[in-house]
Amino acid sequence: MAKTKTKFYCTECGYESPKWYGKCPGCQTWNSLIEETESVVKTQGMNSSLIHSKEKPLPIINIESSNEARVQTGIGELNRVLGGGIVPGSLILVGGDPGIGKSTLLLQTSHALTQSGLRVLYISGEESVRQTKLRADRLGALSPELYVLSETNMEVIEEAIQNVQPQFLVIDSIQTVYLPEVTSAPGSVTQVRECTARFMRVAKGLGIATVLVGHVTKEGAIAGPRMLEHMVDCVLYFEGERHHTYRLLRAVKNRFGSTNEIGIFEMNEVGLVEVENPSELFLSERPLGVAGSTVVASMEGTRPILVEIQALISSTHFPSPRRMSTGVDHQRMSLIIAVLEKRMGMFLQNQDAYLNVAGGVKLDEPAVDLAIAVSIASSFRDIPTKPYDVMFGEIGLTGEVRGVSRAEQRVKEAEKLGFRRIILPEKSLKGWRHPKGIEIIGVNTVAEALRVALD
């Protein structure tokens, strides 16, 4: 007989608890735990759940390998993030802030897939079919193979999938879908978990590539249980500033490719447009001859990107100076400031330090250390850097500049955009052919780099 069991789930992070708390122990959010009931069925014997299993264990060497043919989406930036295209039968979760452009991207992707001969079913639980048609008219996403349905009942959705038999399925969004036999409200932890499990069986059983749109919390994480991200094959985050026109698509989990790639789009009146040269976009508003501004050549997966790093050092009258950074790790900035104080003799203990990566890009590779150090030193000494200099390199605690990978690609990107001088680690000069139209200077220490950049 089924036994009813009561549990409490956090609506923000999915934390599970047998009793109620005022503040969630997982994410520290107040009044986010809700009560839900579960039916637990006791089974007789420890092997009763394995009786109906038809699969038999096989030696791994006897299993035939098969390379899944990826489906090209028609959008190059999306293909890059996914690892070369969509794998049939994969389950993809896309998250992002409200109004960032998730529905626009997926509707454009659906239209592009129909142009290659695929049948697409777009199910919206937040908009009517007329509202979806209005967006499709604006985007020019009109195709007879693009089917649209406004529905939130899971059973009706499964029936529509059987009738249409699509090769690509979009659910916008998973928080609006519900199972009638589950008593909790749509968007609750139980509903999201059970509906995602149903879509996973549909994707794997029928070979339909399925995309689920997920809401995000105020902290930027996808709402619902953390199990949701474990169940899917790929997790994509659509990022961007509401007051800027560009958007970044980043993969944080990908079973079929790398998670280092990013896709860059620009939002305009006809929808999302791919940005073929992101370095030119990020440097379009860069001031020339200003203290505290440097250009760094960073790698995002296999793509070199040139971005501007800005630093502002100002004196403070408070006992503890402020250290604020946007786009780079705060602890990394503090480490570089400590190296400048100890190895270069800069007295920064009474100075506020502000660091910003222009354009809203997030840089997490150590190759940006040298540009951060030069920006801070330039602002502290009030000496502007050369406007056509690009630098990159990792900084150690003893003040040395360590070599980084893919130096040749970084230099070629800088040369393509018209930069005239590259400051890079001495150890990264070996193993590749240097272009003749640009000056390349290798340095071994931070002191050498500052002497060259701020001379």
pLDDT digits (tens, 9 = 90+) for 249-294: 989 999 988 888 889 898 888 889 998 888 888 888 888 889 999 9
Average pLDDT over the chain reads 88
pLDDT at 42: 45
116 annotated binding-site participant:
no
State the pTM of this model: 0.79
- pLDDT, tens only, 195-234: 999 999 999 999 999 999 998 877 677 776 677 888 999 9
430 annotated binding-site participant:
no
Whether the predicted pLDDT of 164 surpasses 90: yes
313 annotated binding-site participant:
no
Q: Give CATH for domain 281-453.
A: 3.30.230.10
95 annotated binding-site participant:
no
Query: Domain ranges in the chain?
Result: 2-42, 70-276, 281-453
Identify each DSSP E strand in 176-282 by its residue range.
Answer: 209-214, 234-239, 246-254, 262-268, 271-274
Whether the predicted pLDDT of 296 surpasses 80: yes
pLDDT at 405: 92
pLDDT at 184: 78
Pairwise CA distance, residues 70 & 300, whole Å: 22
pLDDT at 453: 94
CATH topology of domain 70-276: Rossmann fold (3.40.50)
Using the 8-state DSSP alphabet, how is residue 71 labeled? Answer: B
97 annotated binding-site participant:
yes
Return left, alpha or beta for 207; rule: phi > 0 is left, psi -120 to 50 is alpha, else beta.
Answer: left
Mean per-residue pLDDT, 176-182? 90
Pair 368, 338: CB distance under 8 Å: no
327 annotated binding-site participant:
no
Whether the predicted pLDDT of 316 surpasses 70: yes
Whether the predicted pLDDT of 44 surpasses 60: no
* Strand partners of residue 122: 148, 170
- pLDDT, tens only, 356-381: 998 778 898 999 999 999 999 999 99
389 annotated binding-site participant:
no
100 annotated binding-site participant:
yes
Mean per-residue pLDDT, 121-149? 94
Helix 446-453 to helix 369-381 angle (10° resolution) is 60
Whether the predicted pLDDT of 48 surpasses 70: no
- Which value, to the nearest 10 degrees, does the dihedral of the CA atoms of residues 139, 143, 146, 152 take? 50
Pairwise CA distance, residues 368 & 114, whole Å: 42
Mean per-residue pLDDT, 40-58? 51
Give the closest residue to 301 by CA, choosing from 251, 255, 359: 251
- Of the chain, the percentage scoring pLDDT greater than 70 comes to 93
Whether the predicted pLDDT of 1 surpasses 70: no
- pLDDT, tens only, 411-454: 999 999 999 999 999 999 988 888 888 999 999 999 999 999 99
pLDDT at 278: 86
Pairwise CA distance, residues 262 & 94, whole Å: 14
pLDDT at 38: 62
